Structure 1
């Protein structure tokens, strides 16, 4: 059995890997930096991969046409959440005075101690909007591809903890942005048809507000594009089915809030061992050696977060 997670992204990447590798190596061979035979060492072409894969399950909130075709109609939908939460309410608003309207909505979220995500089309617009909102005394940050990975993690932590209330970005679909504190998702220029405003991207972006009891989405658009129309219809369909299920089974929607921690924060950046735990380790003469063996085993298994945590435990024990 072969399982492809987030298949709407993963499957196109398989096709892109082979094409990108071929373009790069042909250029190097053409200008004499590599031998022509370098193109033989390559990823699988898409059709090769397709022939080799066994029985497959494609998992995605927004499957593409290719996956649906391959499934021959065997599509299983998981729309009901254990918490009973519904897909968010979506509103389309005109772009005229969209920033003023957005600021009003952001004030409501801040008053309710919630969080908001705002998505723009360009880095420049994200930075300019962030600066404008800061001048209006909003607690806001922006995130785009120029922000490195560790800083992204800190930004998400600070957003959840309430260090700031609003995060602005271009593509807010990265893992970790499904935060229950998010009450509002605002999508500027929602009618600018393209990759960031496709049906798939819109549904995924709107879903960022689906973990909050008061979650809602504002889409600023003057034209009802096919992508926008389909995304709204799909979200509305899911919401109706979820509400019907809750009504039939007497489920009252409720949000769940976990500690705002990430693996990186918990196991790498701030590894802690209680004094009591250290004392219990020290009482065993072989404890440090045992931990060292576990650390090596974790590193060999490519579980570097666990290995780093064990390393820091060893250092604390040796210090004791």
Structure 2
């Protein structure tokens, strides 16, 4: 349950605003507006409303700077609840471009912020964990496609001490959930195998899981510090969420590839019909390359 930590009580117009907005939400009002000048306590008022209605909440803002500010404030108001931060994980993004006059292709260039990616994944894991006391502060990036939530949920690996599962089957499940086996650097979203022990570097938190097998049985599950390898605590069960939110259903991959090929062929035919043969050749090369990478 949401439980606000407040060093002071609502004052001035805040109690009436909290009462009226809470009433509107409980009566099913779709749109309500809270007006107030800078410094009038709008965020504090909304925190009180969140505590009153006890519903999972999305706070949507128009830029990353305001997201960071609101995230910090709500984190202070709800220190014991799941306050999450969700923005685009690109520090830099340059889309690919093609200039047919000079036959120049400019490749896509980007830089991903690993810490932001961790926070995005932590948001999705908490949303699917069954918690109700979750508040997500997000920029407009949250409205864009993030993959199929059903497939993401199907990719969750749930294990218990004493489960009968061959080690290799467990490793295959890890790969299917988009984890990579590491022989060197133990980075986020990877796992390493040492005999009957599998260490997993979870991409959405700052610790890992260590799963120990005895034959085809899970003998022990524990959490540990990534940097030192020191054990944090023993666990009876664990849920391992996918390493990436873009889970592609394997049984649909062939169908998806055919749809891409059909769309590519249609675009190539169009370019040829209007005399743009260089563009037709370029898009065919790029799409075929991307499909090979898939």
With the length of structure 2 as denominator, give the TM-score of the two structures: 0.30
Question: Which structure is higher in strand share?
Answer: 2
Higher RCO by CA contacts (8 Å cutoff, separation 6 or greater): 1
Question: Which structure is higher in helix share?
Answer: 1
With the length of structure 1 as denominator, give the TM-score of the two structures: 0.28
